[in-house]
């Protein structure tokens, strides 16, 4: 059997305005030919500075926006061809946990109503059934069943994010997409939520696509990590390999050349010299070239392809992972 989720050449361009002259409407190149897969029960983290396209990838996976190109397959099935009932079944299997627990929960609904709502979109529940389901879900996320009567405003940030997770769990998903799901929380609460997610993964076999700008969060949570820069994946590697031996110059810069005693202090906010260029008019060739200490003339002209390395990672860099003309036969640095 293949991977749970397979993403092939996913691309999203947003037109900027309508443009009264049809020919030259500028576009935001939010996501460019992104490909990856996620195994059942696996955690893939997507990291990058803000504006690199991470959240657009999340929205594309949820089909909250339509892709400009490429495909998203769940268990080998492309959602694009699905009719009503199959589409509903597909939607049940992918759920999302949002960044901001303060704004993603309806303030007028009780906790119990909030977490059972996704199920009630599919089937009618009696009051008794709803309360039993709410109690079960609250226990799963480490909360007392009596919390079902509270309003979001009566809960702490960590409790609200637990509710967001309980709601995502209510339909027994195979995959949860979490976009900056712990970024708004204190570090100690972050650790509790990450532990909860890990426990749920072990108990229920849920896969995660976990999106974060924070390398400190990712290092102890991911199985594999995809690093994005200006809409493209530049390196995708097993987590430990990425942190101990980054290959792409951007990954290297994010992690820092020297060992970092406290990984939580590594911030992606401004780790690399210079600003992230605009996705409206990204640099030619390798988009990282204006900030890259290793850039060659070639980097200004040619987009580097993702090249597989012997340890299972893929890297897009003319210098660190040069491709040959023969597809699938990379010449590796040092050969």
Cβ proximity to Mg ion: between 55 and 131 the closer is 55
Cβ proximity to ligand SF4: between 280 and 294 the closer is 294
Label residues 192-228 b or e (16+ Cβ within 10 Å = b): bbbebbeebbeeeebbbbbbbbbbbbbbebbbbbbbb
Cβ atoms within 10 A of the Cβ of 282, count? 18
Please tell me the distance from the alpha carbon of residue 272 to that of residue 49, in angstroms, as a whole number.
10
Is 224 one of the binding residues for ligand SF4 (CB under 6 A)? no
Binding segment for Mg ion among 51-59, 60-68, 131-139, 183-191 (CB under 5 A)? Answer: 51-59
Tokens linked to 89: 């079944």
Residue 304 interacts with which of ligand SF4, Mg ion, none, CB < 5 to 8 Å by class: ligand SF4
Cβ proximity to ligand SF4: between 111 and 317 the closer is 317
Is 299 one of the binding residues for ligand SF4 (CB under 6 A)? yes
Please tell me the distance from the alpha carbon of residue 218 to that of residue 201, in angstroms, as a whole number.
16
Binding segment for ligand SF4 among 94-102, 152-160, 267-275, 311-319 (CB under 6 A)? Answer: 311-319
Among 286, 306, 314, 323, binds ligand SF4 (CB under 6 A): 286
Residue 97 interacts with which of ligand SF4, Mg ion, none, CB < 5 to 8 Å by class: none
SS3 12: strand
Of 191, 199, 140, the residue nearest 164 (C-alpha): 140
Question: What is the closest distance, in whole angstroms, from the C-beta atom of residue 268 to Mg ion in the complex?
Answer: 12
- Across the beta sheet with 69-74, the strand order is 27-38, 5-15, 69-74, 77-78
Question: What is the closest distance, in whole angstroms, from the C-beta atom of residue 183 to Mg ion in the complex?
Answer: 9
Cβ proximity to Mg ion: between 55 and 129 the closer is 55
Cβ proximity to ligand SF4: between 280 and 301 the closer is 301
Is 55 one of the binding residues for Mg ion (CB under 5 A)? yes
Label residues 31-55 b or e (16+ Cβ within 10 Å = b): bbbbbbbbeebbbbbbbbbebbbbb
How many of the chain's residues bind ligand SF4 (CB under 6 A)?
14
Residue 288 interacts with which of Mg ion, ligand SF4, none, CB < 5 to 8 Å by class: ligand SF4
Please tell me the distance from the alpha carbon of residue 312 to that of residue 180, in angstroms, as a whole number.
27
Tell me the DSSP string of 233-252. Answer: EEEEEEHHHHHHS--SHHHH
Positions in the binding site for ligand SF4 (CB under 6 A): 249, 286, 288-289, 292, 294-296, 299, 304, 317-320
The residues that touch Mg ion, with contacts defined as CB under 5 A, are 55
């Amino acid at each position: 059997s293949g991977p749970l989720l397979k993403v092939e050449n996913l691309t999203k361009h947003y037109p900027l305005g309508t443009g009264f002259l049809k020919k030259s409407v500028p576009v935001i190149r939010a996501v460019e030919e992104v490909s990856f897969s996620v195994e059942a029960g696996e955690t893939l983290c997507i990291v990058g500075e803000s504006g690199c396209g991470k959240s657009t990838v999340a929205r594309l996976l949820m089909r909250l926006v339509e892709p400009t190109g490429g495909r998203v397959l769940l268990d080998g099935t492309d959602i694009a061809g699905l009719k009503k009932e199959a589409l509903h079944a597909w939607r049940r299997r992918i759920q999302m946990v949002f960044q901001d627990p303060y704004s993603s929960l309806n303030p007028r609904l009780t906790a119990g109503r909030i977490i059972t709502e996704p199920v009630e979109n599919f089937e009618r529940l009696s009051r008794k059934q709803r309360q039993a389901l709410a109690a079960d879900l609250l226990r799963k996320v480490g909360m007392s069943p009596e919390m079902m009567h509270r309003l979001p405003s009566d809960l702490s940030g960590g409790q609200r994010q637990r509710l967001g997770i309980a709601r995502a769990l209510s339909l027994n998903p195979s995959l949860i997409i979490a976009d900056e799901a712990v970024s708004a929380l204190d570090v100690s609460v972050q650790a509790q939520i990450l532990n909860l997610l890990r426990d749920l993964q072990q108990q229920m076999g849920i896969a995660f696509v976990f999106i974060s700008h924070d390398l400190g969060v990712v290092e102890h949570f991911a199985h594999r990590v995809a690093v994005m820069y200006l809409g493209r994946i530049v390196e995708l590697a097993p987590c430990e390999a990425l942190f101990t031996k980054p290959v792409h110059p951007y990954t290297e810069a994010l992690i820092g050349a020297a060992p970092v005693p406290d990984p939580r202090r590594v911030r992606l906010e401004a780790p690399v010299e210079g600003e992230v260029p605009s996705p409206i008019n990204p640099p030619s060739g390798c988009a990282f070239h204006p900030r890259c200490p290793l850039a060659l003339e070639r980097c200004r002209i040619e987009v580097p392809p993702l090249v597989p390395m012997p340890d299972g990672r893929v890297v897009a860099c003319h210098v660190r992972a040069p491709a040959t003309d023969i597809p699938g036969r990379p010449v590796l640095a040092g050969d």
